[in-house]
Structures are given as structure tokens and as C-alpha cells.
Amino acid sequence: MIERARKISASVIFMLGFTQFHSFLSAVYSYFKEEYSFVWNQWVTGLFVILLFGSGFLLLKKNPVRIPALVVLLAFALFHGLSTYFYQFKLLENFGGDDFPFEYTGVTLMAISILLFVFLLFIRGDTSTSVDVQVEKWKTKWRISGIVTAFLAASLAIWALVSLILEYNRPSKDSATFSFNTNFDMIIASLSAVLLLVAAILTFKKGSYLLAGIVLGIGFIYLMNYVWFDEWMRYAAKNGLKLAEGENRIFGIYLLIALFATLSGVFQLVGKKRA
């Protein structure tokens, strides 16, 4: 049972790594397409992509190594804690607006990494897989649930992609201006759809801790996107502003993607066959 908990922890680390991959990819896209400059924290984000995936794979080894994961998680929590303080709390303090939209991604990632650090630090016990052998028979229904929800999430990602293509690039002068979605969101929707379909197909056989973690990462990214949008909508309504007209439906789809991707990731982990 302890072995399974360790492997699930690796999946959560993969989830964290995929969120950083998304952030780093966004920075690369902005650098080449929008002529933004790279700053130090974006390079650190790219480094964490490598470190998180690397430490996750070390946990999946036959003879697992926990120390790298503990060190990386602690550094990751520190990085996002400091980033949240300087780029969120200090900015809000300077603007003097307590009701200004707050971006919860950093503080949420910090909380997850701290909880996972504590879990891995104190996890102890027999690594026997006897419990896994006993429950192997009922894992099929969980894998099927993971497959169905992954297909649903992939279908929604494709729907979001088509909607963005049709509405964001609509040439009509009467089209609503998109404030929160860009061409980069089309790339992410395409990538998410492909990864979700791959995860669904491979789950037919036995599943993958790596892909389950990536699917959870997709769910997390879309959930945080929705929360960020909702924060701005509440702020706009409170201050009589008009923002993101026409984007409500897109973010409604994002919320559904977050729901089904998260469920799929959990189902895949529960139904994962023993290696």
C-alpha cells in the first residue's frame, strides 16, 4: 500500500511539472510571437519542469529515491511562496485595492507542494503489494470511468478549440473582443485534447502514472483559468466594468474540462494496474 501511495505521489509531482510546462510554454510563445522578454522567474519555471519530472520518475523506480523529490518540492514551495508574496500581495498593497482580482495559482501550487512534501517525508511502512493483488479485479471499472471522462474532457477541449478559432478570429467588426483568450489558448486546447486522447487509449491496457499526472495537470490549469476569469468578472460587476463579453461560454467549457480531466486523472490512478 505504501508503494502505491508513493507512485500516486509521483503522479502529483508530474501534475505540478505539467503546470510549470504550461507556464514556460506560455513564456516561450510570448517571447517569439509577442516580443516579450524572458525574466529570471521564467527560467526558473523551465528548470522546475525538468526537476519535477525527474524527481517524479525517481519515485517510480524499483528502488525509489525520495530525497530529490523532497528537495525539489521544498524549493518549489519556496519559489511560489516568494512569487506570490512579491507579485501578488505586494502589488495589491501598492495598488491599495483589497477587492482587486487575486491569482490563486501560485498559492495553490505552494499548498499542494507543501502537503506532498510532508506526506513523502513521513510516509513509512511495508511496501508489500498484497493489497493491490486483492483489489486487482475491481480496477477495470475505474479504468473504464477514467477512459470515458478523458474522452469527454478531450471532446470539450476540441469544442473549446473550434469555438476559439471561430470566434477569436472572426473578422466581423461586431464580434466581441476577447480579453482573456489568445492564440496560445488554441495551442493549449489542441495539446490538451491530444494528451487526453492518448491517456484514454493507454488506460485501456493498464494506465500510466505519468499520463494520469498530466491529465490532473490539465484539469488544474483549466480550473485555475476559470477561477482567474471569475475573479475578474466579479471585480468588473462590482465596479461597473464591461470585460470579456462573449467569453462566458468559453470559460464554461474550461470549467467542464477541469471537472472531467480531474475525475479522469483520479479514476486512472485508482484503476492503475500493477506493473
**pLDDT at residue 264 greater than cutoff 80:** yes
Among candidate residues 93, 128, 163, the one where a domain is terminated: 128
Instruction: Give me the number of domains the chain comprises.
Output: 2
Among candidate residues 128, 153, 172, the one where a domain is terminated: 128
- Are 121 and 164 found together in one domain? no
As a whole-number percent, the residues of the chain with pLDDT over 90 amount to 56
Give Cβ neighbours of residue 264 (< 8 Å, ≥ 6 apart). 145, 146, 147, 149, 150, 152, 153, 196, 199, 200, 215, 219
- Are 18 and 124 found together in one domain? yes
Q: Give the mean pLDDT of the chain.
A: 87
- Are 23 and 146 found together in one domain? no
119: containing domain? 1-128
pLDDT at position 125, please?
56
Cell of 79: 519559489
Among candidate residues 73, 94, 128, the one where a domain is terminated: 128
Tens of pLDDT along 164-194? 888 766 644 444 556 788 889 999 999 999 9
pLDDT at position 22, please?
96
Tens of pLDDT along 35-75? 677 788 889 999 999 999 999 999 998 888 899 999 999 99
**pLDDT at residue 131 greater than cutoff 70:** no
- Are 140 and 275 found together in one domain? yes
Q: What is the pTM of this model?
A: 0.91
- Are 91 and 28 found together in one domain? yes
